Amino acid sequence: MTEEGTGKPVTADEQLARFILQRSHLRQDGTVKQDAFIPHPWLDLSVTRHLQRTERELWSIGQNVAWQTAKTLHGRADVRASDFQRHRLRVIAARVEGNPNHANVTGWPTEKPAQKIIAQQIAAAAGKAHQPPREPA
């Protein structure tokens, strides 16, 4: 897996992945609930930049995230950086061990209703989550 581009600023047209590790964050039709985009424990939301990664590599990152926390990977919601930025949120590249593509979405309002209305619109933009491959990547 190459680390090309991971240190560069996030551009508006970049695709970002939010890995879904809680079943109830997905509806029965496979679409993503706003619950998956509420920031906590800090006013940051962890996402993974697609950059030049293949599907297999992206799922490998997701499986690693799930493995580290002993959770099941239920899906992956993809959104563009611009879907966050239009709500005055910032997407900051923030490499972490095991995931050089990691980024934080920052600048969230502190009031819960204001967080929710933004998260709802991001969830609407995400649409259906991608299903993880049957075989581990």
Rule CB under 8 A: which residues touch other proteins?
Answer: 19, 21-25, 27, 31, 33-35, 38-41, 46, 65-66, 68-69, 71, 112-114, 116-117, 119-121, 123-124, 127
Shorter beta-carbon distance to other proteins: residue 106 or 120: 120
Shorter beta-carbon distance to other proteins: residue 90 or 116: 116
Shorter beta-carbon distance to other proteins: residue 29 or 135: 29
Q: What residue spans of 1-137 are helical by DSSP H?
A: 55-68, 81-85, 112-126
Q: How open is the CA angle 80-50-18, to the nearest 5 degrees?
A: 65
- For CA atoms 97, 99, 101, 102, the dihedral sign is negative
93 φ, ψ (degrees, to nearest 5): -60, 130
Report, in Å, the least distance between residue 137 CB and other proteins: 17
